[in-house]
Structure formats: C-alpha cells, structure tokens
Amino acid sequence: MLQDSSAHFFKVGRSATGLLRPDKLVVYFRDFEPLEQAARELAIRLSGCAAHGVPFTASLGDDGLLSWGVDPLPEKGALSWRGPESWRLWVTNRLASALVSARKNITGTLQPWQFALERLRLENVDTITWAPRDGFGLPSA
C-alpha cells in the first residue's frame, strides 16, 4: 500500500521499546492530500486495532489510531548542532518555555497553563487538534 503512495520515507520501531512507543510507525509525505489518501486506506486495513495515540499530533479519525504532524522550518539563528525539531518537540519546547515565563510573571491574570496555550495559539497552533493553522510557515515541497 505505501509503495503505491507518494510517501518518501518511513520508519518503524525496531525493538520492543520502539514498538511500544505511540509513534511506532511514522510515514513522511511532502503534501497533505496524499497523506489523507494513505490514511483512509490504512484506516480500513487497520480497522479494529487498538489505538496508542501520539501526543501533540492532529487526529486523522475518531479513534486516535492515525494522526499527523509537520516538522517546522528551522528557525533563523538556530544553533546548527541542535538539528531540526520534530513537530512534537517544537510544541513541547514552546509549551515549556511559556510555562516557565508565566511562572516568573505571576502578576498576570492567566494561569500558567492558559498563558502557554495562548502563546501557542499566537504561533498559529490549534491547541484543540494540535494541528498547524494557516500562516504557520509550513515547509514547501
């Protein structure tokens, strides 16, 4: 099935630890439409499998079995030794940074968790679905 798609790379957990991760199978696409098509086909083939949802990814169905994210573009001035950030790492780094900032400034009217979510919304992240919103600055194909 994947060999007939436009997926350009995939990775699978190669050990018991890797297979126990929520992201035990990751498939990379350059465009969203082929991703959706592959997800529809996978959903049919994997019907009945127990979901092991991946945190901070956007669901591609009601059961949490399939989801998606996007690796953000490298930031200008980022340290080269850090390497690229995955979507989940980018989100969690920003949440952590906003939580620390909010705790240092306790005079605000928002709780730290509310401040952190608002910061992500301002960076064009839908904090309900964890998907990037228009204007996020997605990589081009």
- Annotated domain spans of the chain: 2-68, 80-132
Its pTM stands at 0.68
C-alpha neighbours within 13 Å on the C-beta side of residue 87: 23
Q: Which amino acid is at 100?
A: V
Contacts 24+ apart (CB under 8 A), 51-54: 52/22, 52/24, 53/22, 54/22, 54/23, 54/88
Each residue's pLDDT expressed in tens, for the chain with a length of 141 residues? 777 788 888 889 999 999 998 888 889 898 888 999 999 998 999 888 888 888 888 888 888 889 988 877 776 766 666 667 788 888 999 999 999 998 887 676 888 999 999 999 998 899 988 888 875 655 444
